[in-house]
A and B are shown apart, each in its own frame.
Chain A
Amino acid sequence: MIRILVSPAIIDLSVEMDRIEAGHSAGAIATFTGLVRADAKAEGKVETLELEHYPGATEAALHALAGEAEARWSLSGATIVHRVGMMAPGDRIVFVGTAAAHRGAALDACAFLIDRLKTDAPFWKRETSGGEARWVEARASDDRAAERWRDA
């Protein structure tokens, strides 16, 4: 079962964990949670993070990734919840959960989903620090992390 949610609402971990554990015959659940970092910049600490996305295309991209993971690792469940809009340091941005028969498949599928989400889904981050807003630049390390899943 695939669950995709893109929403400005706070991500409730207990609700998401209950959903991914319920109704599956999985022996293993792996999860990843991403938080807004309070990285210190030259301008000062990050005060807010705003997430823009491409409605429709975002959900389609996440569905495609979850479907690919489900087929490749024989998952019984895959959840991707991504928050959009205004956030503060410490807030949850993203939750990925995978359910499989054994831990290897669940852990690999979870890493695949978060690595590929960073390069394949249309989200853009804008940080404010010292009262100045700036768009976050894409990182080459994220491209390399996503690329490693294409070889296998």
Chain B
Amino acid sequence: MRVLYFAWVRERIGTSEEVVDPPAGVETVADLIGWLAGRSDGHGLALAAPDRLRAALDQAFVPLDTPLGDASEVAIFPPVTGG
């Protein structure tokens, strides 16, 4: 599974994307965020407050309690600020 990071999430983690293979039991986007947070200090810093995070599965915005299903691309980012 490809995970993309944007804005300050990307900066704190130190990479814009990585390929991960989460273990069984990681079923939702929130589960994935919790699991990713343990990968490095940077991940922990970026992902410590899930209420400040938003996500997309295969490029469509979803709530964090959404099951990952067979999504191949997950994006994690702060609330958007365009326009």
**Range, interface on chain A:** 20 to 34
Provided the pairs A52-B6, A56-B59 are in contact, do residues A118 and B77 lie with their beta carbons within 8 angstroms? no
Rounded to whole angstroms, the CA-CA distance of A73 and B81 in the bound complex is 26
Contact assessment for B78 and A54 in the assembled complex, using a CB-CB cutoff below 8 Å: no
Contact assessment for B59 and A117 in the assembled complex, using a CB-CB cutoff below 8 Å: no
Rounded to whole angstroms, the CA-CA distance of A118 and B75 in the bound complex is 18
Rounded to whole angstroms, the CA-CA distance of A119 and B60 in the bound complex is 13
**Range, interface on chain B:** 10 to 19
Within 8 A of A (CB), among B1-47: 4, 6-8
Rounded to whole angstroms, the CA-CA distance of A148 and B4 in the bound complex is 31
Choose among A60, A124, A136, A142 the residue with the greatest number of B CB atoms under 10 Å from its CB.
Answer: A124
Partner pick for A124 among B6, B56, B59, B60, CB 8 A cutoff = B6
Partner pick for A137 among B59, B81, B82, CB 8 A cutoff = B81
Partner pick for B83 among A56, A57, A94, CB 8 A cutoff = A94
**Nearest 5 A-B pairs (CB), nearest first?**
A123-B82, A138-B79, A124-B7, A57-B59, A118-B83
29 A–B contacts from the bound complex (CB under 8 Å)? A34-B83, A52-B6, A52-B7, A53-B82, A54-B4, A54-B6, A54-B56, A54-B59, A54-B77, A57-B56, A60-B59, A94-B82, A94-B83, A118-B80, A118-B81, A122-B61, A122-B77, A122-B80, A123-B80, A124-B78, A124-B80, A124-B82, A126-B7, A135-B7, A135-B81, A137-B79, A137-B81, A138-B78, A138-B80
